[in-house]
Amino acid sequence: MINQEFLKQVESINNELVGLKKRLKNLENKECTSVKDSVRGSSTSYPYIQHSCVIEGIEVPKNRHLKAKYRKMIRSKTYKLEKLKIQLEYELNYIKDPEIRDIIRYKYNDFKSWVQIMFLMKYNSESVAKMKLKRFLEKNKLCDKCDDLN
pLDDT, tens digit, for every residue of 5-52?
889 999 999 999 999 999 988 887 776 677 888 888 888 888 888 888
| Confidence at 147, pLDDT banded by 50, 70, 90 | very low
* C-alpha–C-alpha distance, residues 7 and 107, integer Å: 9
Cβ atoms of residues 108 and 61 within 8 Å: no
pLDDT value, residue 43: 80
Instruction: Give 87-118 pLDDT, tens digit per residue.
Output: 999 999 999 999 999 999 999 999 999 999 99
- pLDDT value at residue 150: 29
Dist. CA 40–CA 120, nearest whole Å: 66
Give tens-digit pLDDT for 58-98. 776 677 788 889 999 999 999 999 999 999 999 999 999 99
d(CA 10, CA 4): 10
The answer to whether the CB of 61 falls within 8 A of the CB of 27 is: yes
Global pTM reads 0.69
Phi, psi for 34 (deg, rounded to 5):
-95, 150
Would you report the helix, strand and coil content of the chain in percent, each value rounded to 5? 65, 10, 20
> What per-residue confidence (pLDDT) applies to 32?
62
